[in-house]
Structure 1
Amino acid sequence: MKSGARIEAFLEMMSAERGAADNTLASYRRDLEDASEHLGGRLADADAAGIRGYLDDIASRGFATTSQARKLSALRQFFRFLYAEGLRSDDPTGILDSPKKERPLPKTMSEGETGRLLDRAAAEAQAPSGDEIPGATRMHALVEVLYATGLRVSELVSLPLTVALRDERFFVVRGKGDKDRMVPLSPKAREAMRRWLVKRNSDPKLAESLFLFPAASDSGHLPRQVFARDLKGLAARAGIASAKISPHVLRHAFASHLLQNGADLRAVQQLLGHSDISTTQIYTHVLEERLLKLVNEHHPLAD
């Protein structure tokens, strides 16, 4: 029985025994016929090296890892069928690893864009007539603290009032798993918090709260969704596409800019509150760029 006939037998089994939908069968057919064409029409007789060569070929053609994994899944089911039917004595896909899914790079902002955002927030907070834009002083404190510390948005909006009462360079935040970590506070962040504290304490409804950013919400503090919405508005006024920014993006900017300027990956892991270094390794592209620049600029043989 030739490969084409065995593909047809496999598709018939998938339809009759497993009730595969027409779209599923068409997808299997395309994937198996593509592999068979690469292998000179001898898919049913292929060995592991031949299948691996086909997978390398589709990777070089630019297929996404999800597409590569789907094609390998079709091949696995095809060869399992041949083995179960006694048409082969082995399964060549049994020793092949599935293609690893690529982790998308985190969205971030350039240092220039971040500077524009912070400058806009400061200008709005320090307008002569006070809060020309409602909540401008609070927003300035929020973005300065977020960029200075890299806090998760849930950690930021629920900060206790005591953080602003201590004029210190560091404070302790309780993160995921109730784990405490120490994070830095820049002079600009401390000043923005002091300004917000003055305005906050002038409002009797807010002054009694134990949260730095109180609100009339179920939690008693500023909802993360409200901050995310207001942040997009600030970005738009700073000339930055609002679709490009979120609290999480600003957290990524904090980490990326630290690494770009010489910080150690382990130190960034601790600041972000990642329990596993593998989570922080999404930023290794930043380190690679920095190392390449270092070699190109300082190696005596660099051209």
Structure 2
Amino acid sequence: MLQEAVDNFVTSIANGEMERSGGSRNTIMAYRNDLGQLCSHIQTLGITSWPRVTHEHIGNYVRHLRDEHAYRPTTLARKLAAYKSFFRYLSQKGVVTTDPALGVCLPPVERELPQIMTTEQVQTLFQLPERDTPMGVRDLAMLHLLYATGMRVSELIALDVEHFRAQDAAMQCVGVRGNVRYLPLTSAAMDVLDRYLQHGRPHFLRDASETALFVNHHGERLTRQGFWLIIKGYARRAGIEALTPHKLRHAFAMHMINSGMDLGSVQELLGHAHISTTQFYCQLASAQHR
């Protein structure tokens, strides 16, 4: 009964029944994993139904995750949010009459300052792709584009060939909320993108009607997971720990801030909805210069 209720809840998220716009694949996987762990723990207590779960059970489990498993505050906050959403669902379905997650709190989450890639690390990364192979040219073009524009990986893989405005030395980027940004390109990014379009992309294509700018070895649009595997491979070779695609976005933002660009312009380039999000980089810049 425990797992069945979780499965029904996850299905409702996937179908958009519990959220305004449905759940993303990553959100659904997180719910499934977090609630699956909770299920296993509840079963070890000899409890076989959700109505028997109490506020103390949830509170003790969250503290157990913090103290025994050393989960970070951000991870604990995500898990607790999943529990609360799940029990709201059970309450709406009449499965439980009281919400055992209600009132369970965590200390305020302090935002950790990320480690920013140095210019030397970025240049090391650029030296790794093999420039005389189609795959190496493609990978180098993607790395240069991320660092030159600060775009998100989701925006990178959504690019079509027509988004490259060579005459304007810019890339048209459709943001996460559908807003369009025109991002200026460096001469280095322009050169490697032109080389990729001439000597890289045609090598991969299987279907001439494919519109994606960056394609995999099957000639299909590169996926987020595919790019993640690519950058992990280069990170290992470069000896850069915990490199994520988002760190190139951080590096771009910090380069713009440190070069004197005003905050509003950086916000526009990054596609942030609120200036407060961009102000985070000012805080980081101040911390670096202390």
TM-score by structure 2 length? 0.59
Q: CA deviation at 1:246?
A: 1.3
Asked if 1:236 is matched to 2:236, the reply is yes
- Please identify runs of 4+ aligned residues in structure 1 that moved more than 4 A: 22-25
Aligned residue type for 2:178? D
SS of residue paired to 2:177: helix
Partner residue, 1:262: 260
Check conservation: 2:205, 2:215, Cα contact below 8 A: no
Q: Which 5+ residue runs of structure 2 have no aligned equivalent? A: 1-52, 64-71, 75-105
Map of 1:103 onto structure 2: 111
Contact 2:163 2:173 in 1 (8 A): no
Structure 1 segment 263-282 matched on structure 2, within 5 A: 263-282=261-280
Aligned residues: 199
CA deviation map 1:85-130 (0-9, x unaligned)? xxxxxxxxxxxxx975422223421121111111323xx21xxxx3
Residue 214 of structure 1 and its aligned partner are, at CA, apart by 2.6
Q: Structure 2: how far apart are the matches of 1:22 and 1:100?
A: 21
Q: 1:289 Cα deviation (Å)?
A: 4.5
**Structure 1 unaligned spans of 5+:** 1-17, 29-63, 67-97, 294-303
Within a 5 Å distance, the mapping from 1:124-273 to structure 2 comes to 124-125=130-131, 130-131=132-133, 135-164=135-164, 166-199=166-199, 200-205=201-206, 207-215=208-216, 220-241=220-241, 244-273=242-271
Following TM superposition, by how much is the alpha carbon of 1:202 offset from its aligned partner in structure 2, in angstroms? Answer: 4.3
RMSD: 3.4
CA distance in 1 between counterparts of 2:285 and 2:256 reads 10
Contact 1:256 1:283 in 2 (8 A): yes
Q: Is contact 2:150-2:249 (8 Å) kept?
A: yes
**Does the C-alpha gap of structure 1 residues 21 and 289 become closer, same or farther in structure 2, counting only changes over 3 Å?**
closer
Higher Rg: 1
CA contact (8 A) 1:164 1:197 kept: no
Cα gap change, 1:189 to 1:283, in 2 (>3 Å) = same
How many percent identity over aligned positions?
35
